[in-house]
Chain A
Amino acid sequence: MKFISASLLLSCLPLLAAFTSNKLRLHHPTRPSISTRTSSSLRSTTDKPTIIPSNQDAGLGPSGYSTTRVRNFSIIAHIDHGKSTLADRLLETTDTVAKRDMEAQLLDSMDLERERGITIKLQAARVLYRSQEDGEVYILNLIDTPGHVDFSYEVSRSLAACEGALLVVDASQGIEAQTLANVYLALENNLEIIPVLNKIDLPAADPERVADEIEETIGLDCSNIVHASAKTGIGINEIMESIVKYVPPPPPATGGPFRALIFDSLFDPYRGVIVFFRVVDGAVKKGDKIRFLNSKAEHDVTEVGIMQPQQVPVEALRAGEVGYLCGSIKDVLDARVGDTITLSSEYKAAAAKLKESKSEEEPIKPLPGYSEATPMVFAGIFPVDADQYESLRLALSKLRLNDAALSYEPETSGAMGFGFRCGFLGLLHMDVVRERLEREYDLDLIVTAPAVVYRVEQGEGEKKKVIVVDAPSKMPDKLRDMKIMEPYVRVEVLTPSEYNGKVMELGTERRGIFKDLKYMTPQRSSIVYEVSDITQGYASMEYQLIEYREGDLVRLDVKINYEDAPPLSTIVHVDAAQTVGRRLVASLKELIPRQMFKVPIQACIGVNVIASASISPMRKDVLAKCYGGDLSRKKKLLQKQAKGKKRMKAMGKVSVPQEAFMAGLQRIMKNNDDEDAASISLRDINFPKKDGDWERISSVTINDITNPYYRSLVAIHK
């Protein structure tokens, strides 16, 4: 296929404009490293603006482009097993990124990712690799994915754009929660899975044992498994050879209309929405008018390109290829993740044809797409300053485009004013969203304690009413014929067998119902519990898909200075209410600063106060002198005080800091510290099954500081 034409030459003017805007984008804070690279490399391609070099198939050699020499794969693994580092090596050994531009975890381009050392968003990159087998040059489109369970939605979207998955397993750790979860995701997508043992340079690496584990628990053939070190570069060529050898090429173009699946998108303030997609059939080029099947929006394509990993414009993207396009798409809803891109002309032609034959069919069949991510944890997000509500709304809508798993709807609360009730995949996800909102959109936010969803059933048979309660304060007062249902999760714990006892102790402590104990290998066991985990408040996070059982639950309200503080309400087991109440008021007493008056804090069930404490008033808050020389200094002190107050929310007369709204969470941390010095978090994730049904994976991670092994728990739930 050739696309060089006179029109192409003409069209370089708008392209130039795009480049200038790229330079401006340097100042955009969200993606600093990538955008820097983008602009420099883009400029180098535009030194001669009259001719656009046909970089389309540059480097592919005499054989040119063929889907038979394209490999699309994702890199999947448990958190920290070395996906991003492996991606670095792939970019490096293929000379995609010059040595001098190389930095660790290059694809983690968000500030937050670099700071936390984790991948949050999927990131695609194209590398060219000359196979030692046949001497041909292959296009490898790799997608680096996050390992943390909260971002599994990123993984499932990546996988839909691929034919294969590189399963990275840390040879010193073995199979862990997300190793399994991601394997299931890859199997759902019918992908070829290539296991790799990473970190074999570590003294603690035990590749034989881990290979056995993979064979036994996952059932993958490990006789030829690559032993690699993403750090030192061992085994990198073998990995690429096995990708070429085992990952199936994408199906070739059928001659049918252009169809592409959007797996990610990004809002750029200068170029509008940037859409990342995988071409399934046909081709798209600059100047085409495209149509998004679901949103029905149409746009002119101003740029198509590939990620190397910086965005490099090319002339066209063809069946099997992965790339991006932009077209001054301003409305974030026009190009939703999962939507199918088609060509407007082909769509119209097909529609006209259908009209003739009076068929009800859709002119172009949409690609399967993705199911919406199901939020597991809900929390309220409110601007500290009510005037920021509009900015918050805008920020959420933009972030939503960048983070398809985020959901939100407006919420009004008497105490907190206008804000949003947001759904997250887990606590880390929540934390990342909060931080991005504050950082990238410069907002001051109050986030209420995360909670799961309860169901309240009232009446029997015909008259039965079910209320879904997604915020504790919305729990109705209990009536006689009312049943409060709480989510139960089945927790399967993967642990080295020597810790079986400890894990079971923990399960019992958490009111878990013991179900099963299996030895997967002599050294590794699986222990199954069913928990409602109500003592952890937020941690029993079921939404709709697993079993609800009746629980003896009550709403525990908090009053500060005799005024209701609904954002602080929690739902607890009746027999735990006393303890929880006492802990809650105690931590609020710590978290709320002294005021100029005494502040009683009460935990109540209905009208009954079950625990109380009071914050004694401060006795003085005065600066002794205030003369000429120190006016400025004193003023700074007061301004600092004012700034601190600005970040608090006034509940009645009392200024309550952000941390207090997380008091429920704090109570849990404390609890854990007291009991076994391990912090526990539980995360759930859903993924689609072939039959359209859902399957759920909940995982619990226990981080015992004293033991690195003691940390991987997995649950599979139907």
Chain B
Amino acid sequence: MNWIAKLKLLMVLPVRVSSFYAPLSTKRLTSTTHITLDDNRFCSHPSRHLRHVQLSSTETETYPNGQNESYGLYVHIPFCRRRCNYCDFAIVPIGKESSSNTGFAKINQQYTDALLTELSMIAASTSSKILLRSIYFGGGTPSLAPLSTLEKIMHAIYKSDSSPFLLDEDAEVTIEMDPGTFDLDKLKAVKEMGFNRISLGVQSLDDTILQTLGRVHRSSDVYSSIDMIRQVYGEEGSNYSIDLISGVPGLTLAAWTETLYKATRLHPRPLHISLYDLQVEAGTAFGKWYDGGDTRDDAETSPAVSIQIKTSNHPALPSTEECAWQYKYASGYLRNKGYEHYEISSYAYNGQSSTVSHRSKHNQIYWEMSGQWYSIGLGSTSSLNCVRYARPRALSDYISWTRKLTKSSKPPWLLSTEQTIDKESERKLLDIVMTRLRTSDGLDLDQIAGQTQFKEAHVDSILRGFQLAIDLDLGTINTSGDHKYGLMRLKDPNGFLFSNNIISNIFMELDLESD
């Protein structure tokens, strides 16, 4: 929030601002000078695409904590034992006995090299270190990667002289780990490497549901994993998040309340819960079983008496009514247990005396108005410099893509053409609306109105698109003090539940206006 105000201050002094731009691309600077500095809050200008930590002491004064001038880094580790029934991510199934498998050793080697190539490309594109406030190893199952691999990557990220990055002192460094894929020694090593947060792929605490999901682990693995976390990080130092999925085939309302009950009694307590409503995606096993279909909307039937129609041997999908109920129940229950529902599918513990926020720093970068992040790895997407760049999703494509990267030229994820920048403000506005309305902090309309790249007409369109949400009591607009437009928020849980509909109403109005 306040960093924006700070930036604004900076904008008054354009000359000084430019003095600490990275000397990356003067050429592009001239070709895109029609973008005003003011825009930078939303669309990082190419010339300042890297806000480096070269700040002199006076500049640091302007940025007392400088935290929001930093970036996120996502590292994708695609290995999984097998593909889960609901999964459509970019993963590489490697089977059970991965460690002794020579085929895996080769893939691992190639993949590690590819990641290191990307990192060296990033390093080559900058003359100074880039400040990170978060690193996130996601997957796949990063905990399946051999320790040596993780070490090499962490080293290349920020530990060597040639590393492109520098860690903010209170940076969040997360690794996704699946129960049953690590032992105490591995976890100790992970801690050693600098990971200070663990995202545990729990999904469910019910063994039948875990089986339905196609997971390899069982609930006992979850409990032992958490105990290991306690042993390694200590009672106080354990900072872990769990994933839970609702709306799973066969998941009854009673079983769901049971899952939440157990989840909130885990010890030590998960400081963060990511709670997803299952989406049946085409191309997954569920997609086949349930005919690609969220067509299960027989909303007239009440949840208590809904008839579950079994298709073959697979348990029936809950009705949308039941899914909605599970979502709403979780929202109320977790709030009661001290969790803040700060985004549609994210809960952060803030109960008791806790003054620190346990929101995921990393994910919040995605939802920020001007969040920028690097990414490396298969199928990952970086968002820098007005360029959202997605890497190939197939392993062989990705590997050959990294082999074609040459240090002499600019990395593709930094390349922006005049055209992409022109389209940027519109695209960016949709991104902002979509991500901000997913958060409990909401969308600050005055901030949008204050931007030269967005017109007040845009705000009017957003307001028009939101009207139905207000009429149906699904959203609010708070105006206080000198706010002209106010803060737009979806209500928890009912507004969140219809977020797509409301956001697409706004998209439609914005679209009509731009015509």
Contacts and interface: CB of A to CB of B under 8 A. Distances in A.
Interface of A: 385, 387, 594, 596-597, 616-632, 634-635, 637-639, 641-643, 645-646, 653
Nearest to A598: B299
13 contacts: A385-B512, A596-B501, A619-B321, A619-B323, A619-B324, A624-B279, A629-B74, A631-B435, A634-B434, A635-B430, A645-B504, A645-B508, A653-B471
Contacts of A617: 299
A645 B468 CA distance: 14
A629 B471 CA distance: 33
Interface in B446-502: 468, 471-472, 474, 496-501
Contact of A622 (B277, B366, B390, B430): B277
Interface stretch (B7-15, B141-149, B167-175, B372-380): B372-380
A449 B503 CA distance: 31
A112 to B, nearest CB: 25
B404 to A, nearest CB: 21
Contacts of A620: 277, 320, 323-324, 327, 497-498
A642 B300 CA distance: 26
Contacts of B388: 631-632
Contact of A387 (B274, B277, B434, B515): B515
B499 A623 contact: yes
A642 B320 CA distance: 22
Given A620-B497, A629-B379, A641-B500, A635 B277 contact: no
Contacts of B278: 624
B500 A628 contact: no
A625 B324 CA distance: 16
B363 interface: yes
A269 B276 CA distance: 55
B381 interface: yes
B320 A619 contact: yes
Contact of B366 (A597, A628, A641): A628
B233 interface: no
A639 B430 contact: yes
B320 A638 contact: no
A383 to B, nearest CB: 11
A627 B134 CA distance: 14
Nearest to B497: A620
B390 A621 contact: no
Nearest to B326: A620
Interface string B151-183: 000000000000000000000000000000000
Contacts of A624: 276-279, 344-345
Contacts of B431: 631, 635
A594 B320 CA distance: 13
A626 B76 CA distance: 16
Contacts of A645: 504-505, 508
B507 A638 contact: yes
A621 B381 contact: no
Nearest to A634: B434
Contacts of A623: 279, 344, 499-500
Interface string B121-151: 0000000000000000000000000000000
A610 B421 CA distance: 57
Nearest to B360: A627
Given A620-B327, A627-B363, A646-B512, A596 B498 contact: yes
Given A631-B366, A639-B507, A626 B497 contact: no
A390 to B, nearest CB: 13
Given A385-B512, A653-B471, A621 B299 contact: no
A638 B504 contact: yes
A618 B297 contact: yes
A620 B323 CA distance: 8
B380 A622 contact: no
* Contact residues on B (Cβ < 8 Å of other chain), bracket: 35 or more
B359 interface: no
B64 to A, nearest CB: 28
Nearest to B363: A627
A597 B277 CA distance: 21
A622 B498 contact: yes
Contacts of B496: 622
B498 A621 contact: yes
Contacts of A618: 297, 299, 320, 498, 501
Contacts of B365: 628
Given A631-B388, A642-B504, A642-B508, A622 B344 contact: yes
Interface string B290-319: 000000010110000000000000000001
Nearest to B512: A385
B511 interface: yes
B383 interface: yes
Contact of A385 (B279, B434, B499, B515): B515
B373 A628 contact: yes
Contacts of B373: 628
Contacts of A616: 299-300
B401 to A, nearest CB: 16
B45 interface: no
A626 to B, nearest CB: 6
Interface in B347-401: 363, 365-367, 373, 375, 379-383, 388, 390
Nearest to B435: A626
B511 to A, nearest CB: 6
A643 B379 CA distance: 27
Nearest to A614: B300
B512 A641 contact: no
A632 B427 CA distance: 10
A626 B320 CA distance: 20
Interface in B261-280: 274, 276-279
A627 B373 CA distance: 11
Nearest to B509: A642
B472 A626 contact: no
B438 interface: yes
A210 to B, nearest CB: 52
Contacts of A642: 504-505, 507-508, 511
A622 B320 CA distance: 11
Max chain A C-beta neighbours (<10 A), residue from B74, B380, B500, B511: B500
Given A621-B498, A621-B500, A653-B471, A646 B390 contact: no
Contacts of A594: 297, 299
A626 B438 contact: yes
Nearest to A595: B501
B297 A619 contact: yes
Interface in B237-267: none
B128 to A, nearest CB: 24
A251 to B, nearest CB: 56
B380 A629 contact: yes
A187 B208 CA distance: 82
A629 B381 contact: yes
User: Which one of A616, A619, A627, A641 has the greatest number of beta carbons of chain B within 10 Å?
Assistant: A619
Nearest to B246: A624
A597 B502 CA distance: 13
Contacts of B321: 619
Nearest to A630: B381
A168 B438 CA distance: 67
A44 B428 CA distance: 52
B434 A635 contact: yes
Given A628-B381, A631-B431, A638 B503 contact: yes
A646 B430 contact: no
Given A638-B503, A638-B507, A628 B74 contact: yes
Given A385-B512, A631-B366, A642-B504, A596 B276 contact: no
Instruction: From B367, B381, B508, name the one whose CB has the most chain A CB atoms within 10 angstroms.
Output: B508
A659 to B, nearest CB: 18
A545 to B, nearest CB: 43
Nearest to B504: A641
Contacts of B345: 624-626
A653 B471 CA distance: 9
